[in-house]
Amino acid sequence: MTVERKNNINYGKHFIDDEDIRAVVEVLGSDFLTQGPKVGEFETRVSEIVGATFTASFNSATSALHCACLALGVEKNDVVWTSAISFVASANCALYCNADVDFVDIDPSTFNLSITDLSKKLKFCHDNKLKLPKVVIAVHMCGNPCDMRSLKLLSNEYNFRIIEDASHALGSKHLGEFVGNCKYSDITVFSYHPVKNITTGEGGTASTNDPILFKKLKQFSSHGIVKSQEDLRKKSEWSLYYEQQTLGFNYRMTDISAALGISQLSKLDGFISDRNVLANEYNNFFSHKNVRVQTVSDFDISAYHIYIVLLSSKSERFKLFNFLKQKDIHCSFHYPPIYSQPYYRNLAKTYMPCPNADEYADRALTIPLYPSMSLELQSKVMSAIEDYGL
């Protein structure tokens, strides 16, 4: 069996080869489609690669974020803060726990949560005796690592916990080490949706160095049930004895997905270097144009899950998007501010202001970049942009 590929140009695209297909087919012929050996193997591989002690797998990053919040004790009357510019899942996870959510503005050059705005808002809430966040969810936008050391210092000062939503950042490096080692956070979540850096179809993981958090993550992902002797409240001689000790969910990853994930992980280095080669080409190209691109620290490596440019105005973005679309080049938009979504507006809360996020939302455009994109294909995108004339 071989993989056929069409030649239309999208903003992102998964990469599946014959090895991936074989890995999945092998599981289909085995004794376990789910809850077999592949899930644990995948978790171990992720831990080894990112440098965390433990990794729990999930059927999506969204469910991993939900359980990460639960594991950190997020509940009613708590508030969770996250970046104004992210996928809605970064905020929804707090609402699932009946907590409130509020937003930190972005830094207009990194597109990440602004440490300056965060520290201003923390101080304001502290001075005015307003509720401080129990958890801050930092999003590594496009794979660009957040300034985790500064975030950690603030968390010590204001006593909040940290979740990294690293859905874009598998393979990114911060200060020389892989994102996911949880050096500056409690839990790091990755997504394996097909547009992300590797895929398991649908899937996610949560890594941590804390054995208690790890146990909670596992337990919440599987109905709140525990089975191992040391965790049981009642001792039993019967090997089939288990206990449901809390209310959990069926958020488990399947062995089919995990086998695909293991196979994909072996290609991660190649994916990240392909993405960086393409991103460098774009960076050079746009350095001569009236367009802003994302700033990545010299001490970091971005996985470049997506490549975003900021156009000079809303109308310029609209025109360029349509111009490229006519040439079969399909761009995208990541993301409108979460608080601007009708659902969030209908909650009738007042959110803290995020002027940078509002401005970003008018101008951001995600242009095509994915591992199997050839340099020839990329030149087609660049010459189309050249034809448009920026």
Query: Quick check: 16 and 29 in contact, CB under 8 A?
Result: no
DSSP string, 190-207: EE-STTSSS--SS-EEEE
| Helix spans in the chain (H) | 18-28, 37-50, 61-71, 89-96, 115-127, 148-158, 211-221, 255-265, 268-286, 314-326, 342-346, 355-363, 375-388
**What is the total count of residues that contact ligand PLP (CB under 6 A)?**
14
Per CB under 6 A, contacts with ligand PLP among 315-344 are none
Q: Please, which of residues 37-76 interact with ligand PLP by CB under 6 A?
A: 60-62
Interface with ligand PLP (CB under 6 A), residue from 27, 139, 187, 198: 139
Q: Does 144 bind ligand PLP (CB under 6 A)?
A: no
Compute the least distance from the CB of residue 196 to ligand PLP, in Å.
Answer: 6
Cβ atoms of 114 and 147 closer than 8 Å? no
152 close to 120: Cβ distance less than 8 angstroms: no
Which of 12, 133, 145, 204 is the binder for ligand PLP (CB under 6 A)? Answer: 204
Listed residue (74, 215, 213) closest to 137, CA to CA: 74
Contact segment (CB under 6 A) with ligand PLP among 24-32, 83-91, 221-229, 230-238 equals 83-91
Choose among 150, 151, 9, 142: nearest CA to 82: 151
State in angstroms the smallest separation of the CB of 248 from ligand PLP: 18
Name the residue nearer to ligand PLP (CB basis): 62 or 356.
62
Nearer to ligand PLP, 167 or 185 (CB): 167
| CB-CB contact of 65 with 163 (8 Å) | yes
How far is 281 from 265, CA to CA, in rounded Å? 25
Site for ligand PLP in 152-181 (CB under 6 A): 165, 167-168
Judge whether 114 and 104 are in contact, CB under 8 Å: yes
The verdict on 86 binding ligand PLP (CB under 6 A) reads yes
Beta strand pairing call for 204-208 and 187-191: antiparallel
Nearer to ligand PLP, 282 or 335 (CB): 335
104 binding ligand PLP? (CB under 6 A): no
d(CA 25, CA 21): 6
Among 45, 173, 193, 330, binds ligand PLP (CB under 6 A): 193
Q: Tell me if 13 contacts ligand PLP by CB under 6 A.
A: no
* Member of 82, 191, 257, 263 binding ligand PLP (CB under 6 A): 191
Choose one: 15-23, 84-92, 97-105, 271-279; the region binding ligand PLP (CB under 6 A): 84-92
The per-residue b/e assignment along 161-183, b for 16 or more CB within 10 angstroms, e otherwise, is bbbbbbbbbbbbbbeeebbbbbb
Among 80, 84, 89, 253, binds ligand PLP (CB under 6 A): 89
For the chain, the straight-line distance linking the first and the last C-alpha, in angstroms and rounded, comes to 44
The window from 85-93, 278-286, 312-320, 323-331 that contacts ligand PLP (CB under 6 A) reads 85-93
- Give me the residues that bind ligand PLP (CB under 6 A), please: 60-62, 86-87, 89-90, 139, 165, 167-168, 191, 193, 204
